[in-house]
Structure 1
């Protein structure tokens, strides 16, 4: 591993657990100064700060009023934004409530969109924006209408942002993890479902947060400068 991000500043949303935690660890190991957000996992945020030196900022993505606070530590300039934080729950369309709709679309689409907007004047030319989607936009499952829709919308916003920010050499990409062994995945799947997901993955296992973080670190680094508007499926061959 090289210190390819030395001198860079990164902001990672939802960085205390799961994929986000692995991203913070990887970007910090690659030399970046990292700020990350967390919602309720205060102990996990503290331990990550102690481990990596990354700065933790509490944030509730269901409330746009918390948005300005997450950018305070990076007012002097930003190089990398990773929109990772999200919520997921299974709900058949026949049981969806307006509250369900507002919660998922605000957390997974609205907040990341306005975080991207807030980042634009802070991003240095040649910066990186990486939005985390899901393989579920390509492999929709019963009960996942709201989650898949929220992520599909973010994918489209990513493509438009890539066009708009291209003149500044700012790249904007999506990473869509496959079945990745996190608390979120286990909360919406049965053990049998997880076994089946591993079985249909070409590499014959669930992904790890570190697997996905490596892909994100590539997009955050100098070797990805000619990739923008793309969607990298980081799923070990779950979808081919």
Structure 2
């Protein structure tokens, strides 16, 4: 059954949109009518990004989509991404407005205390924390009233996993950004929320220790299983729509009940 076109006429920008959860989010937003700008990190991911573009533009209602390359490890990428997005919107005869920003791009690190280097810390925080901040600032001038900013955090932000202190703390920082952004952007009806997935069956899960995954599955009330990309994408799409207009500054556990806030 096709999704209702609740986002028709909207433009969404999704970072980390070439694979995994990001690709699923981009497709779900497109399936609900949004035109989608898919940000990927390097020429190596261009083919994957184009696959997502093709999947979106092949939908029956023919939403528009484009892939934009930008390495969010750098401080210059956000402004360059937004400039490229504006040029594309102009080429499509659309206003240079971005209604939905999904800060999804992220990196993981599994390294025990005592072996973490400053470079490890910077590598994670530059992408997981600094990039959402700079992306939101870059998009701000082009956010119309009642826009949506959705940050992808993790249940790890409030959990204690051995060897994952840098990653988990970076996702806790994303929650802090979310609450503060919500207070600053809410004057015109714009909402800012965070989605906190539990373990999801995707390629990024391969970097997480199996013992951590097994513990989470065994303690997940709903069916003792992993989540799916589609389930996370549906939550993001709801937050992107009009029905979520009275929800802001929230961190939503999307984990089958593994984490209950």
Which category describes the TM-score, using the shorter chain as reference length? Answer: over 0.9
Distance 1:143 1:13 in 2: 26
Distance 1:114 1:96 in 2: 25
Shift of 1:186: 1.8
- Answer whether contact 2:161 2:212 (CA < 8 A) is retained: no
Paired residue secondary structure (1:95)? coil
Paired residue secondary structure (2:76)? helix
- Answer whether contact 1:35 1:73 (CA < 8 A) is retained: no
Query: Counterparts of 1:69-88 in structure 2 under 5 Å?
Result: 69-75=80-86, 76-88=96-108
Calculate the aligned-residue CA RMSD, in Å.
Answer: 1.2
Q: How many residues are aligned here?
A: 239
Query: Counterparts of 1:1-240 in structure 2 under 5 Å?
Result: 1-39=3-41, 40-53=44-57, 54-75=65-86, 76-190=96-210, 192-203=211-222, 204-240=224-260
Distance 1:140 1:194 in 2: 13
Paired residue secondary structure (2:147)? strand
Shift of 1:73: 4.3
Distance 2:227 2:138 in 1: 32
Identify if the C-alpha distance between structure 1 residues 32 and 176 changes in structure 2 by more than 3 Å, giving closer, same or farther.
same
Distance 2:167 2:215 in 1: 21
Paired residue secondary structure (1:81)? strand
CA deviation profile, 1:178-236 (whole Å, cap 9, x unmatched): 1111111222222x543332221111110011110000000000100000000110111
Paired residue secondary structure (2:134)? helix
Distance 2:181 2:77 in 1: 23
| Stretches (4+) displaced over 6 A | none
Gaps of 5+ in 2: 58-64, 87-95
CA deviation profile, 1:140-195 (whole Å, cap 9, x unmatched): 211111111111111111101101111111000000001111111222222x5433
Gaps of 5+ in 1: none
Distance 1:183 1:162 in 2: 31
Distance 1:207 1:168 in 2: 34
Distance 1:210 1:70 in 2: 26
Identify if the C-alpha distance between structure 1 residues 8 and 73 changes in structure 2 by more than 3 Å, giving closer, same or farther.
farther
- Answer whether contact 2:110 2:207 (CA < 8 A) is retained: no
Distance 2:192 2:232 in 1: 17
